Chain A
Amino acid sequence: MIGSKLKEAILCLRTGLVTLKYPFAPHPPEEDFRGYPEVDVDKCIGCGGCAAVCPSRAIMIQDIDQNTRRIVRLLERCIYCGRCAEVCPEDAITMTKQFELSSDKAREDMEVESQIFMATCQRCGRCYTPPSPVDKIMEPGFRDDEIKRGGQDSPYEPVKSAEE
């Protein structure tokens, strides 16, 4: 009985102080930690791969019109699995080391919304990701002048200039 208590005491004493100073001192996670997924919306091409693999359905895709795709990432639903970063063909998503994410306005703080200019399928009229950047530039509506000109394929009304 006494022997056991002594053994336990030695086990405790040998340990010394182990409590970390966190949160008063930083405690960075390991390399390759899967924290807050940061989205570089400029790189996004709107393919929707991330939404297709997301287990918690945190990423929603909505086509506003034939050329515009709206992607809403409700990151308060995110389970930090990192599948979106894994499948993204453009490496637009990075899993950061940020893990201190509590907020009293989670919904606003954790929502990332972007709108992507897409190509329109001439057969079904729905959005798709153009095969190359050149194809994207050729899409009616991509450039301002295209809109102004009101080209034959353009879905927009021609913009009237001040002179007219």
Chain B
Amino acid sequence: MSAQQLGETVKQRFGDKVLDLSAPDLGQLYLTITPDSVVPVAEYLYKDLGCRFVVNSGTDRRRERGKFLITHFFTQDEEKIYIAVHTEVDEDHPQIDSITPTVPAANWSERETRDMIGVVPVGHPDPRRLVVADDWPEDLFPLRWDVEHGTKPPPVEGVAMPRLDPPEGASVVPIGPYFPVLEEPTYFRVCGEGEEGGGVDHRGFYNHRGVEKLGCSVLTYNQVPFIAERICGICGFVHSSSYCQAVELAAGLEVPERVEYIRTIMLELERIESHSLWLGIAGHIIGFDTILMQTWRMREPLMWLCERISGNRKTYGMNLIGGVRRDIEPEMYDDILEVIGNIEREWQALYDAIPGDGTLMARLQGTGVLPTEVARELGAAGPTARGSGLAIDVRIDHPYAAYDRLDVKKCVYDGCDNLARVLVRLDETLDAINIIRQALRDMPEGPIMAEFDEEIPAGREAMNAVEAPRGEVFHWVLTGTENRPERWRVRAPTYANLQNVPPMLKGNALADVPICIGSFDPCFSCTERMEVVDVNSGRVRVYTQEEMLAETQGHSES
């Protein structure tokens, strides 16, 4: 089924409710629907057509249209189609029906859209604020065009996130606000009885950097890739690639084939680097530092290799719209093959050792279970989804760069536990080495930058996703005037995966909480290019400061 046909199917079902339909590309479908049909259309896409919810976005188009544009993004993985469902909401009644009761994965992003643009999702089950700081004024919406970049409202004291009520008799274990394992700021409140974890309340987004606002109000098209790359410290190249590919699609720009291969190679090098970093951290979390030492040692020659290719260990700074800045010289091919060959050999040795190791098995097997159904419902991405038996991988489902010409394997395990997620990453690393070999073999000669003189026309849009080491990175770009995007929406994989924490922790021993959270390789800085909070199912007993002081004093006296 092509995107056009899928659009026709939706139009047949909803008739006049579908105001506009366009499918500029095989894999992209844009629908504009009336505000009252948001929930039925979302339900039809999610339940009947088997689409997966990606993210939602709000755009301030009051200048052009006098309206707010709310967009829900879905993907139909079998048909390789991304679907954007646009709805225009009146400026005077900034309200839209919430789809969260039908599509649970929309929980965070609907709240984020409310915080950023001010369009209220009516009927949302958890209407707390998500992204903005606790003392941010209620009536100031940062992504509206009339709010200047750099606006700093005066701080207010004595405000805090409303917390969920604790259940009777449960105690609370706070983890954070400086997450001890990953050295990043986030705050989980795990409530439980005895050793067993129950509900979880999460407050994150302490690191809000306003990257989207920056991209839409200050930077120009070719400055954004460098900032996009800094959304994440580990998987930066995926963000700049996804952004550049989205702009290239919107502008109808053909990039040279060599560029596609170079991007593929760099993306896979980054995957090896990220997975080996993660495996080390995971070992560290469960107190098995041998793995940390060995994987980080294996990783180091790769970092030097990347430094040689790109000029930096990380944040390669190679992507620009229409191409890359540095070529991979033919004399480097042998060095690349040698480095990845060494990693493959040692990785294989590690792979052989892990499944037989009782210590690891005891900590990984059967802990942090995320059932397939829950993972689908809450929109898990990447290795987290594949470890739960969901066969989704953007490289195969929505091929970009040179992946359609290469043999890529979907590494899926249906164990649903921490071990499955470890195995997925172990497999993927070996597969990445294989992909790099193929790409180096097939890479054609040619220019590394597309020739284009014309300006990128305004009002065009494109969606693009890239399979980051942690999952699906999604970028949507709506082109604008003044040589910059009108709206640039980013969804990092951890944004989707973090919402899976509450069901994952339920029934686990508290000692397993760090590895459970660590098992989906959370990257809080990615997630917090804006900010976040979650939620849920949780019942929490909150100690006041006085109670805690009384408690400690009681102990010291006794």
Residues of A near any B CB (own CB < 8 A): 1, 3-5, 7-8, 10-12, 15, 18, 29-34, 53-57, 79-83, 86, 95
Contacts and interface: CB of A to CB of B under 8 A. Distances in A.
Interface of B: 218-219, 222-227, 230, 290, 293-294, 297, 300, 304, 307-308, 311-312, 315, 317, 325-326, 346, 349-350, 352-358
Contacts of B354: 4
Contact of A34 (B224, B304, B312, B358): B312
Given A30-B307, A82-B311, A86-B325, A7 B294 contact: no
A1 B362 CA distance: 11
Given A34-B311, A82-B317, A53 B222 contact: yes
Contacts of B223: 53-55
B317 A15 contact: no
Contacts of A15: 294, 297
A11 B294 contact: yes
A151 to B, nearest CB: 40
Contacts of A54: 223
Contact of A1 (B219, B230, B294, B356): B356
Closest A-B pairs by Cβ, 6 of them:
A4-B356, A55-B226, A7-B353, A55-B223, A4-B357, A34-B311
24 contacts: A1-B356, A4-B354, A4-B357, A7-B353, A8-B290, A10-B349, A11-B294, A11-B346, A11-B350, A11-B353, A12-B294, A18-B297, A30-B307, A30-B311, A33-B307, A34-B312, A54-B223, A56-B227, A79-B226, A80-B317, A81-B317, A83-B226, A86-B325, A95-B311
B490 to A, nearest CB: 16
A1 B350 contact: no
Contact of B357 (A8, A80, A95): A8
Nearest to B219: A55
Nearest to A99: B312
Given A30-B304, A82-B311, 19 more contacts: A4-B354, A4-B358, A5-B357, A7-B353, A8-B290, A8-B353, A11-B349, A15-B297, A18-B297, A30-B307, A33-B307, A34-B312, A53-B222, A53-B223, A55-B219, A55-B224, A81-B226, A82-B317, A83-B226
A1 B311 contact: no
A33 B353 CA distance: 37
Nearest to B311: A34
Contacts of A82: 311, 317
B356 A3 contact: yes
A13 B231 CA distance: 38
Contacts of A56: 226-227
A112 to B, nearest CB: 20
Nearest to B313: A29
Contacts of B353: 4, 7-8, 11
A95 B349 CA distance: 40
B328 to A, nearest CB: 12
Contacts of B312: 33-34, 80
Contacts of B304: 30
Contacts of B225: 55
B215 to A, nearest CB: 10
Contacts of B311: 30, 32-34, 82, 95
Nearest to A79: B226
B365 to A, nearest CB: 14
A29 to B, nearest CB: 6
Contacts of A8: 290, 294, 353, 357
Contacts of B350: 11
Contacts of B317: 34, 80-82
Contacts of A18: 297, 300
A122 to B, nearest CB: 28
A4 B349 CA distance: 10
A10 to B, nearest CB: 8
A157 B219 CA distance: 42
Nearest to B304: A30
Contacts of A11: 294, 346, 349-350, 353
Contacts of B349: 7, 10-11
A15 B353 CA distance: 16
B226 A7 contact: no
A48 B325 CA distance: 21
A75 B107 CA distance: 41
A26 to B, nearest CB: 15
A158 B390 CA distance: 82
Nearest to B355: A4
Contacts of A30: 304, 307-308, 311
Contacts of A1: 356-358
B226 A31 contact: no
Contacts of A80: 312, 317
B245 to A, nearest CB: 18
Contacts of B222: 53
A52 B293 CA distance: 44
A57 B218 CA distance: 10
B259 to A, nearest CB: 17
B37 to A, nearest CB: 41
